[in-house]
Chains A and B, each alone.
Chain A
Amino acid sequence: MELSYFAQIAVNSLVLASTYALIAVGLTLVFGLMNVVNFAHGEFYMMGAFVLYYLTTGLGLNYLLSSVLVIGSMGFLGMGVERFLFRRLRNDPSSMLILAIAISSIFQHSFLLIFGPDDRVLNPVLRGTIRIFGVSLSEARLVVIIVGIVLISASALFLRKSKIGMAMRAVAQDEEASSLRGVNVSHIRLMGMGIGCSLAAAASVAVVHLFTINPYIGSQYLMKAFIIVIVGGLGSFSGSILGGALLGVLDGFGLALIGYPAHIVGFVVVFLLLVFRRRGIWGHD
């Protein structure tokens, strides 16, 4: 295999890894805090992409400004969903799951009705290529990788060092104990949801000028996020990063080598992994 071909695949894998990890991390954050698998998580990615499209292509706004608006608005929307919908069913995780499914369906179909099923493409902002080690790689792809690394590191730092981050980890571990210690669990939940959805939107903002936009992209990434989260262990932050990276590489090479059926492999791997290792790679029960 030629170096440049290999490099392309490698970069693509990293792009996927970065995107997957961002979405998975957001999902894990929400799961850890709220004990619900937020089925609607992928839709924040999709909606973020559409809003960005509308702002840049429709309204002609600056890309960077639009990105900020998108990330902010999706975070805000996420908080709204938590505050007015999820919170009402806090004590009933299975109802919350169904609620999340319904919400995801509503989002997806609303956008389907508004925008139609067809693909759209963003006007590319980053057209350039960079040469690294004699191989030419698109700038756009590198941006995704860099954004991914930056945001994930930022999140990790936030969770480890900041007061709010530590409160989040406390709540994720033991809600009752944390609340007894004075942590305002509702606020933490709200913020967790906001951050999680912002991360998903950030992923879309970074990636969206590489791929097409249609109302279904949310569920596609959601499925990947599910795999990652199982493999990495539900609720494990580092697990989702690792899982995202692994799946990104698997898919990157798989898609290049065998094409579409590579997706199947991902699902089968999850399965087998769970058969033999109950808690995923690093997860907790």
Chain B
Amino acid sequence: MTKRKLTTFFFILGLIALVALLPLFVKDVYYIHILTNLCLHSVFAVSLWPILAMGELAISHGAFIAIGAYASSVMVMRLGMSSWLASLMSAVAGFLIALIIGYPSLRVKGAYFFLLTFAFTMTVVLSFSYLFKPIFGGAEGIANVPPFSSLVIAGRSVEFSGKIENFYVALLLMLFTVGIVYSLYHSRFGRALAAIRMSDLLAEHIGVDVRNYKVFNFAICSALAATAGSFFAHYHGHVSPTAFPPTLGIKILFYVIVGGGSYISGAILGVVVLDILEETFREFGQYEVLASSLFVLIIMLFMPHGLLGGLRMLKSQIFKLLRVKVAG
């Protein structure tokens, strides 16, 4: 590894350690809650990023978060599953559903595909509101969703009813998500996605199975979203259609785009900036949505590549370190 890579690595490690140790210093649970939300929203954003990285816009993430949340709640409360297992199963459910709708949807691209994800999101939200009321609870949703069940870690029994424990779960989930997306992207898979984004016609003609790549990518991202959804359910203890409006998918798009679509860290930056902006404006009354929308507007007009923008997508990220020496 180059020195630069090494320093970046330790910098990030240090940052993570700092964040992880914060609960020791910050006693006010409210701030822990904010941090947990930051982690959760980061999962939302980072798991949406690969979809943008393949050149598509999708609003369906909100729907998959809802699917994960409802699935997990139902499995725990009606089927008596352990919440940890239920989370895993939600991810699987998200993956499968995404395969099923992704496969036909990704026959088209751009605005068409976007509208399809929109139609899908509306279907999901409306379905949870109006169908199977005995199971999904209609407009009220499902209340009293139990928190994650206690685990025995290092000989001690850990309960997950408090904010601090959940914060660590969120943090780990975020690190896990970032890890997956990062390794997925810095690989042949990621290079294929980059090729697809730059020109899917050419990508197809140099041997990339564009359709299947897109669908699989979409499915993985949606599965991650579903996992985040299940965390949401067990953290908040309550799922309802109002928690997952169509605007949730929009907000997640904003996160990724504001931060700067070229890098995964952009997604996280977007989360931090927009969430802080919202928290700040929430103090003054209900202005937070207006404030973030205005912010996004300004970014789009003046910095369309996001805060980290201007940097060319992938160029330096695709190929690894060595320069190829040419003999003769």
Contacts and interface: CB of A to CB of B under 8 A. Distances in A.
Do A and B share a direct contact in the complex (Cβ within 8 angstroms)?
yes
Interface of A: 31, 35-37, 85, 88-89, 92-95, 97-99, 101-103, 105-106, 109-110, 112-113, 219, 223, 226-227, 229-230, 234, 260-261, 263-264, 267-268, 270-271, 274-275, 278
B104 A37 contact: no
A243 to B, nearest CB: 12
Contacts of A229: 115
Given A95-B300, A110-B290, A268 B130 contact: no
A36 B300 CA distance: 15
Nearest to B261: A94
Given A98-B57, A103-B293, 18 more contacts: A35-B111, A36-B111, A88-B301, A94-B57, A98-B253, A101-B254, A105-B289, A106-B297, A109-B289, A112-B286, A219-B246, A230-B115, A230-B119, A267-B119, A267-B123, A271-B105, A271-B123, A274-B116
A274 B130 contact: no
11 contacts: A37-B115, A85-B297, A102-B294, A103-B297, A109-B290, A226-B118, A230-B115, A234-B112, A261-B126, A261-B131, A264-B123
Interface string B93-131: 000000001001101101110111011101100110011
Given A227-B119, A234-B111, A106 B290 contact: yes
A264 B130 contact: yes
Interface in B246-298: 246-247, 250, 253-254, 257, 286-287, 289-290, 293-294, 296-297
A244 B246 CA distance: 22
A227 B253 CA distance: 21
B283 to A, nearest CB: 15
Q: Which 3 A-B pairs have the closest CB atoms?
A: A105-B293, A275-B104, A267-B123
Contact of B304 (A36, A92, A105, A112): A92
Given A261-B130, A264-B127, A267-B122, A113 B287 contact: yes
Contact of B296 (A85, A92, A102, A274): A102
- Interface majority SS (helix, strand, loop, mixed), chain A: helix
A105 B250 contact: yes
Contacts, number: 112
Contacts of A106: 290, 293-294, 297
Nearest to A229: B115
Nearest to A85: B301
Contacts of B287: 113
B60 to A, nearest CB: 12
Contacts of A230: 112, 115-116, 119
Contacts of A275: 104
Contacts of B111: 31, 35-37, 93, 97, 234
Among A101, A106, A229, A275, which residue has the most Cβ atoms of chain B within 10 A? A101
A106 B291 CA distance: 8
A172 to B, nearest CB: 14
B16 to A, nearest CB: 30
B258 to A, nearest CB: 9
Nearest to A106: B293
Contacts of A103: 293, 297
Nearest to B289: A109
Contact of A274 (B108, B126, B293): B108
B101 A271 contact: yes
B122 A102 contact: no
A33 to B, nearest CB: 14
B297 A263 contact: no
Contacts of B247: 105
A96 to B, nearest CB: 8
Contact of A271 (B116, B254, B296): B116
A52 to B, nearest CB: 23
A152 B84 CA distance: 56
Contacts of B286: 112-113
B123 A102 contact: no
Contacts of A267: 119-120, 122-123, 126
Interface in B300-315: 300-301, 304
Nearest to B103: A275
A274 B253 contact: no
B293 A109 contact: yes
A41 B176 CA distance: 39
Given A94-B57, A97-B111, A271 B119 contact: yes
Contacts of B118: 223, 226
